[in-house]
A and B are shown apart, each in its own frame.
Chain A
Amino acid sequence: QQQVKQSPQSLIVQKGGISIINCAYENTAFDYFPWYQQFPGKGPALLIAIRPDVSEKKEGRFTISFNKSAKQFSLHIMDSQPGDSATYFCAASYLGGADGLTFGKGTHLIIQP
């Protein structure tokens, strides 16, 4: 059972554009939503994370938007750069959950120069 659905699977954005990746979750117990970035041959690296008590969190060019009622959250990458080309994963977890981080299936992002 996939508890976190991520879209799109792949995304091509022009340099300088905005990259948007969306995730939807089912388990209302989730209360921690991180985003990870993974380059080929490397492990995932935490980009930014949000708790449900805020609707938006920004760190540099990366912003998470969170909609608790819709059970959706999204990652926006402003002024996308070729170096941002990677696979991005959303994830969710909650205290007391037995499943660790539940990950989305990932989005392969390509920024064209």
Chain B
Amino acid sequence: DAGITQSPRHKVTETGTPVTLRCHQTENHRYMYWYRQDPGHGLRLIHYSYGVKDTDKGEVSDGYSVSRSKTEDFLLTLESATSSQTSVYFCAISEKKREVYNEQFFGPGTRLTVL
């Protein structure tokens, strides 16, 4: 199994509070991603990173920010959590070898509930 961990695994918070989710990898992969999983939508990309301090927005980035200060860590922050951000969040990593973007490896997920 690829070495990807997410913390916390479960979190319940209140509307308006800031929340930070952490993704940690031991694979030294260049690319990291944050997705959210919602019924009827599958996996939707929030933000991604293509290197240390190199990040960009995905499909559903409003209300989220990210940071990547080290290769191994990718943080997702909800500045002021809303109930619509209740979801399961997955981190993923991938690498590019011989000009091919390889498959993504996913972390175990974080279940976030915003009351």
Decide whether A and B are members of one complex.
no
- What residues make up the interface of A, taking CB atoms closer than 8 Å to B? none
- What residues make up the interface of B, taking CB atoms closer than 8 Å to A? none
